[in-house]
Amino acid sequence: MQMKTAHFLKGPDRTTTRYGEVARFREGLYRLTGRAHAWMVPNGSWGEANFGLIDCNGKSVLIDTGWDLNYTREFLVCAAELIERSPVAQVINTHADGDHCWGNQLFAGLPIIATHACISHMHHLTPGSLRALAKASRVMKALPVAGIDVLGHYAGTILGPYDFRGIRLTEPNQAFTGETTITVNGIDIVAIEVGPAHTAGDAMVYVPSEKTVYVGDILFCGGTPVMWAGPVANIIAGLRKLLALDAQFIVPGHGPLATRPDVELQINYWETIQHELHQRRSLGMPSAEAAADLLLSPAFQATAFAQWDSPERIIRNAQALYEEWGDPPRPLPEPLAKLATLRRQGLLALRLPEATPRCMHRR
């Protein structure tokens, strides 16, 4: 289904994205079916994450929360009429990335459900670390040595729209493994574990009566997906499981409502980069060099993938694939390794000035 099949209810009064891009669709709360709703955020870049809200006849179930309290509260204001009629009774987190769970504290005291692996992964990154990175990025921009200034620009631009003050990490308090069904006032909601894949603890949420599925970050629509954990086989298996559900409404973690061809195209992306990067690895190319060589190649630039948001994320995807194929990760502490990855992505982003969000690809 296309976004036009959903009915817009209410949203903030702005026409650009958090990164200053022309919005490809209107931000706000959409009614998909009589019970299934989605909070959709254009254009689906960093932190521009979608939520789900399921009205279960007097109680609601919320799928994911936002990267900061301001944007999560904005959702609550716009959804107030629905929530007053059907207060949020439970929350489900699809995974432990902050843009899907750092608003949990606004629902403290409620059942918050996630996979065991998601809960174990909740503290892999903290709001304090991103506050520190945002502050450090302003200093790094003035250090044109070894790409430090590029890292400052890239990281600072990613974090710029968000305010990480006041956030208290609030872990899910109910866990599952495999699959679990939650029944609220007669409405079945099925949480399906598909990780480790995008992260260590991914799940998607299916509402059979509404033929609606909230996919989390197993699926990015119109944006380049990223594999923080892997293996890639689990991402592809999760996408194939999604197709088998035959849902009429597919809500990705980022971007507009997805269609079956969008899901198939993302499977094609993962299969393509696996093949192409493996060939380059066999020629002795390091992962970052192989990623840039593939991304900038005429053949890749002729694909639909090249038009996706944040194409430079292929840097991290190549790292993860090389590690799957037996290459050891860089001998750096995890925080420094992540900064090194962001620096490489920033350097590659500057070679793609027409890619979006443009503020990350131009200085």
**What pLDDT digit, counting tens, does each position of 52-95 carry?**
999 999 999 999 999 999 999 999 999 999 999 999 999 999 99
Q: What are the CA-CA distances from residue 295 to residues 37, 165, 199, 224, 247 (Å)?
A: 36, 36, 23, 12, 32
How confident is the model at residue 78, as a pLDDT? 97
User: What is the arithmetic mean of pLDDT over 321-344?
Assistant: 87
Does position 149 have pLDDT exceeding 50, yes or no? Answer: yes
Q: How many CA atoms lie within 13 A of 107 on its CB side?
A: 29
Burial class (CB in 10 A: 0-12, 13-18, 19+), 359: middle
Domains of the chain: 3-125+169-258 (3.60.15.10), 127-164 (no CATH), 265-363 (no CATH)
| First-to-final CA distance of the chain | 37
Give every CB contact of residue 130 below 8 A, 6+ residues apart in sequence: 98, 159, 162, 164
Strand order in the sheet with 203-207: 179-184, 187-193, 203-207, 212-220, 249-254
Backbone angles phi, psi at 91, to 5 degrees: -125, 140
Tell me the pTM: 0.95
User: What is the arithmetic mean of pLDDT over 13-37?
Assistant: 96
Residue closest to 258 by CA, chosen among 269, 271, 249, 266? 249
Does position 4 have pLDDT exceeding 60, yes or no? Answer: no
Does position 242 have pLDDT exceeding 80, yes or no? Answer: yes
Query: Please, what is the average pLDDT of the chain?
Result: 95
